């Protein structure tokens, strides 16, 4: 399927704008830990459901397990490396400016932008589901960084740099996807699959469980998952 670069770029602006909104939430009011934990559970449910209903079925269309394994393994190692570098930078950062978190968030959203581009090459329904889930991820990532950065100008610059990675990644994908059908299509899809799983399980849920859980926050995980399950039949791929 030939992808429309303008359409992909337009849709990628949606999660970017949602991310900017999230980045400025701490400017308006203090976000409580319970609210953050609830949001993390909900977003994790949305991401896992979008992964299960849109990304995994596309990966499984491969007639060979080799590209799946290669893309997935490379994705896992790349994300572990990014995670390690981010923590290393965080150890030497200035207390008021979370360089490690900003670096990791920029790379996360760049990869997410690439995944949006690839998702739309699969179908509009798949692209919409992935865009929806990544909009919530962008909101949470920028919300977290916004709460850690002090000063309006620093918060503005940090949020804009992070959010800009989404359309940049989508633009790169719009250039590369036509070539991926004949070479590395399933490898890249599998790479994106690893990225979504890492984001949901090793970042969102892991961070959420460091806070005090309640029945409501746990239920929100399943609410997010159910939301995607309910929307999936309404979307044609």
Confidence of residue 237 (pLDDT cuts 50, 70, 90): very low
Whether 75 is in a domain gets the answer yes
Q: 168 vs 68, 110, 212, 224, 232, CA distance in Å? A: 25, 7, 36, 27, 27
Whether 150 is in a domain gets the answer yes
Q: 6 vs 9, 34, 115, 159, 229, CA distance in Å? A: 5, 39, 16, 24, 28
- For the chain, the domain total comes to 1
Confidence of residue 236 (pLDDT cuts 50, 70, 90): low
Highest mean pLDDT out of 19-23, 81-85, 96-100: 19-23
pLDDT value of residue 183: 72
- Alpha-carbon gap, residue 131 to 1, rounded angstroms: 18
- Alpha-carbon gap, residue 235 to 219, rounded angstroms: 25
Whether 178 is in a domain gets the answer yes
pLDDT value of residue 13: 92
pLDDT value of residue 93: 54
pLDDT value of residue 235: 65
Whether 237 is in a domain gets the answer no
- Alpha-carbon gap, residue 41 to 206, rounded angstroms: 10
Q: Please compute the mean of the pLDDT values over residues 168-183 and round it to a whole number.
A: 77
- Alpha-carbon gap, residue 118 to 32, rounded angstroms: 35
Structural contact between residues 147 and 23, judged by C-beta atoms closer than 8 angstroms: no
Q: Please compute the mean of the pLDDT values over residues 188-216 and round it to a whole number.
A: 81
Q: What percent of the chain has pLDDT over 90?
A: 12
pLDDT value of residue 69: 95
Whether 19 is in a domain gets the answer yes
Q: Please compute the mean of the pLDDT values over residues 191-198 and round it to a whole number.
A: 84
Whether 55 is in a domain gets the answer yes
Q: What is the pLDDT of residues 39-69, one digit of tens each?
A: 888 988 988 998 888 889 888 988 889 999 9
Maximal CA-CA distance, the chain: 52
User: How far is C-alpha 32 from the geometric centre of its chain's CA atoms?
Assistant: 22
Whether 223 is in a domain gets the answer yes
Q: Which residue would you say has higher pLDDT here, 147 or 168?
A: 168
Task: Among 132-136, 168-172, 202-206, name the one with the lowest average pLDDT.
Answer: 202-206
Q: What is the CA radius of gyration of the chain?
A: 17
Q: Please compute the mean of the pLDDT values over residues 74-103 and round it to a whole number.
A: 72
- Alpha-carbon gap, residue 141 to 147, rounded angstroms: 10
User: What is the domain extent for residue 48?
Assistant: 5-232
- Alpha-carbon gap, residue 214 to 209, rounded angstroms: 10
Whether 56 is in a domain gets the answer yes
Q: What is the mean pLDDT of the chain?
A: 81
- Alpha-carbon gap, residue 156 to 153, rounded angstroms: 5
Start-to-end CA distance of the chain, whole Å, equals 11
């Amino acid at each position: 399927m030939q992808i429309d670069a303008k359409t992909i770029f337009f849709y990628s602006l949606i999660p970017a704008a949602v991310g900017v909104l999230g980045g400025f939430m701490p400017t308006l009011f203090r976000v409580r830990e319970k609210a953050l934990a609830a949001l993390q559970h909900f977003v994790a449910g949305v991401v896992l459901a979008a992964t299960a209903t849109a990304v995994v079925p596309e990966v499984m269309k491969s007639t060979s397990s080799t590209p799946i394994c290669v893309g997935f393994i490379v994705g896992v190692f790349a994300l572990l490396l990014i995670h390690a570098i981010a923590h290393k930078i965080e150890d030497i950062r200035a207390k008021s400016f979370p360089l490690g978190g900003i670096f990791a968030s920029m790379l996360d959203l760049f990869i997410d932008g690439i995944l949006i581009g690839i998702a739309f090459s699969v179908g509009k329904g798949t692209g919409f589901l992935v865009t929806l889930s990544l909009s919530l991820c962008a909101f949470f990532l920028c919300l977290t960084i916004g709460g850690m950065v002090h000063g309006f100008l620093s918060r503005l610059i940090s949020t804009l740099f992070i959010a800009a990675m989404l359309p940049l990644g989508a633009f790169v994908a719009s250039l590369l996807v036509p070539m991926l059908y004949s070479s590395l299509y399933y490898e890249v899809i599998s790479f994106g699959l690893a990225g979504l799983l890492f984001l949901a399980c090793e970042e969102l849920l892991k961070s959420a469980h460091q806070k005090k859980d309640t029945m409501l926050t746990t239920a929100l995980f399943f609410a997010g998952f159910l939301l995607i399950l309910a929307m999936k039949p309404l979307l044609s791929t």
